[in-house]
Amino acid sequence: MRNVLPRAPRPPRPTPGPRPRARLFRTRPRTSVRTAVAVLLTAAALLIGPAHGTPGSAVRAGAPGAAPGAVPGAAPGPAGARAGAPAAAPPHFAGRAFDTCEAPSVAVMRAWRRSSPYRAVGVYFGGRGRGCRAQRELNRGWVAAVHAQGWRMLPLFVGSQPPCVLVEAKRRYAIGRSPWTQGTREGAEAVRAARALGFASGSPLYLDIEAYRAGDARCAATTVRFVRGWNREVRRLGYLPGFYSSAETGVRQMERERAAGTRDLPAVVWFARWLGRPALESERTLHPRAWRPHARIHQYAGNVTETHGGRRIRIDRSVVDAPVARVTR
């Protein structure tokens, strides 16, 4: 038999304790119900974004972002600071302007820029009722060159005219039986013509409505329908609708419509009253706070001849506190 050492006794096994549970996620301090609700509401607001009114809806008068025609305590002004408004705000100009039937040459504009008191120019860029239709100088290059000289531009569109227009030569362009449809169509035409010349989105386009017979309610109603259709389409296409007319007819009617709460009115008014001196803020047909601030132009003299830098032009004179065109570089 072999001699062997006795085997040492095994140490006793430790008694197994309860097994710890595996953690599937890290625990966080509890959040109060109020805090959780606030977080959920904030997330929902970020996802939904700010509410917008429907196109053409009125902005409460006096509220932030109210349209230029709005007057605190009065009826809502023209629509425009909402969905469908111009994507980019146009530049503002305050100073003296002139307009003339046919765009002068680049050389004439350079001479006037150096020696005249004017810094803005009205440009008749389109419309079937435009007096000087040839416009031999006016093209995209002219717009770019004159803008580079430092001129600010007020694009004027002379489309269809009131059936009771006073100027006999304009009666052939009378608004037809469907003024809203016609206004919409000509609004689209105005935007196409503006784009072709390099007037960028956001620019004001001024609809020229000549003086018409005061007191003719039917004629006035037809004209307002045409203007509103034009305004809505111009605004829908990303431009700012402006309005030029005589203070006693077209502009007076726009003020009546504004006071009555009519929608789709112009964002800027350019009123003709030939006083021989500027009276931008004291026009009697407008509420003192209507189309303010920075939404008025006063044409205070017309058919005058001036010479600057040796260049003679027959012009109308205006004083401006309003938006001017954005020009594509």
How do residues 166-211 score in pLDDT, each as one tens digit? 999 999 999 999 999 999 999 999 999 999 999 999 999 999 999 9
Structure tokens at 22: 């595996």
Band the pLDDT of 55: cuts 50, 70, 90: very low
Q: Is the pLDDT of residue 45 over 70?
A: no
- Dihedral sign for Cα atoms in the order 274, 323, 280, 251: positive
Q: Is 124 exposed, middle or buried (0-12, 13-18, 19+ CB in 10 A)?
A: buried
Report percent pLDDT > 90 for the chain: 72
According to DSSP, the residues that pair with 243 across neighbouring strands are: 207, 269
Q: What is the mean pLDDT of the chain?
A: 82
Rounded to two decimals, what is the model's pTM? 0.78
Distance between CA atoms of residues 77 and 265, nearest Å: 8
98-131 pLDDT, tens digit per residue, is 999 999 999 999 999 999 999 999 999 999 999 9
Band the pLDDT of 71: cuts 50, 70, 90: low
213-265 pLDDT, tens digit per residue, is 999 999 999 999 999 999 999 999 999 999 999 999 999 999 999 999 999 99
Structure tokens at 113: 């820029």
Q: Is the pLDDT of residue 3 over 80?
A: no
Q: Looking at the chain, which runs of residues are DSSP E strands?
A: 92-99, 120-126, 152-157, 204-208, 240-246, 268-272, 296-308, 311-323
Question: First vs last Cα of the chain: how many Å apart?
Answer: 114
Distance between CA atoms of residues 140 and 194, nearest Å: 10
* DSSP code at position 134: -
263-277 pLDDT, tens digit per residue, is 999 999 999 999 999
Distance between CA atoms of residues 244 and 263, nearest Å: 18
